[in-house]
Amino acid sequence: MKAVVKYAPGEGNVELREVEEPRPGPHQVKVEVKAAGVCGSDIHIYHGDIKLPVRPPVIMGHEFAGVIAELGEGVQGLQVGDRVTCETAAYVCGECLQCRTGSYNICPHKKLIGYFFDGCFARYCLVGEERVHLLPDNVDFVAGALSEPLACCVHALLELTCISAGDVVVITGPGSIGLLCLQLVKAEGGYAIVCGTSQDGDRLEMARCLGADVTVNVEAQDVSKLVEEVTDLQGADVFVECSGAPAAARLGLDVTRRGGQYIQVGLFSGPFELDFGLIAYKELKVTGSLGQKWTAWRRGLTLLGQGKVDTKSLVTHVLPLTRWREAFQIFEEKKGLKVVLQPVD
């Protein structure tokens, strides 16, 4: 079968290769991939600057949906033909404090598909039975391929953050993660302000279509002044940083009200200067979020099935796996929103 393989560390070193079709071991499920999303993390892996363990040669990709093609020995509760999506954690130790308290998403020994173990940019992918989730009947494969980023957002916004009806929530970065966070804020009854740059015109328009109360071009408008006007000088109740831009982080510490919440979802490319003292002076509750766990998947898929979250509208390009280079370029140049790859024979 054909697969997109990161074959060596460093910049680039990715190509479409012919690889052996996998066979499931005990308690593994072989999934025929029907749709696989391109993630910002895939771009970081391509450039060799991701801070999570990568073990080349490895098949890339970790966001996907498909059909169970084969069951390994001992698998229970699943059947060949089931429509599924899958978690990314191929290995967690099960012994550390984080695993024992249910936060296996931050296990220090965690290893992911698409990074350390072969992922979904191929016709078939192997996953452990405990990481498989059934897709709601009314969710197709393209929409279902975004279940993983949705679960990440659910974990950040609904498990680690407390959003109440009427809260003013500022979101920076109107990419797929930011727009999923927007929908969760609206589902919780929040007032959403979505911020982007001049390059994000189409994405800000999508934010408006998905229910944003206000959209802001940070290069043309004064975000701090706008937030003051909306909140009667109090500041935002919650700030959600999805862009991974240092300027956005600085903005967050500035516009979040005293006693408010700041949550970091986007990944930065390197260290930068930040006035960390504001966290103390304003008594901010600052939280980081990484990945997802079973509870977030369950809630995210429920919201998806109920129509409370729309993932398919975020997909602007569906390309065959053979055009992966084009897909990566579209992502990096922000020519689209979400790009989905489909394996072909």
Distance CA 213, CA 340 (A): 28
Asked if 329 and 39 touch (Cβ cutoff 8 Å), the reply is no
Token output for 345: 């024979």
Cα end-to-end span (Å), the chain? 8
Stretches where the chain sits below pLDDT 70 are 345
Dihedral sign from CA coordinates of 256, 311, 243, 226:
negative
Distances (CA, A) of 299 to 106, 125, 155, 288, 344: 19, 24, 9, 20, 31
Degrees to nearest 5, angle at CA 121 with 115 and 124: 105
Q: Kindly report whether the global pTM for this prediction surpasses the value 0.75.
A: yes
Q: Across the strands, what pairs with 195? A: 172, 216
What was the pLDDT predicted at 52?
86
Q: Across the strands, what pairs with 35? A: 65
What was the pLDDT predicted at 269?
79
DSSP-H helix ranges across the chain: 40-47, 97-100, 141-144, 147-154, 176-187, 201-209, 223-230, 246-255, 277-281, 294-305, 324-332
Distance CA 336, CA 82 (A): 31
* Rounded-to-10 torsion of CA 118, 124, 130, 135: 130
Burial of 91 (0-12, 13-18, 19+ CB in 10 A): middle
Distance CA 34, CA 294 (A): 22
**Which domains does the chain show, CATH number per domain?**
2-149+292-342 (3.90.180.10), 161-288 (3.40.50.720)
What was the pLDDT predicted at 345?
58
Asked if 243 and 176 touch (Cβ cutoff 8 Å), the reply is no
What was the pLDDT predicted at 267?
86
DSSP per residue over 189-218, as a string? T-EEEEEE-GGGHHHHHHHHHTT-SEEEET
Residue 335 makes CB contacts below 8 A (sequence gap 6+) with 329
Q: How many helices (H) and strands (E) does the chain have?
A: 11, 18
Q: Which helix (H) or strand (E) holds 169?
A: strand 168-172
Per DSSP, 267 falls in state P
Distances (CA, A) of 141 to 19, 46, 57, 312, 321: 24, 25, 27, 9, 15
pLDDT 10s digits, 214-251: 999 999 999 999 999 999 999 999 999 999 999 999 99
Distance CA 66, CA 56 (A): 25
pLDDT 10s digits, 280-331: 999 999 999 999 999 999 999 999 999 999 999 999 999 999 999 999 999 9
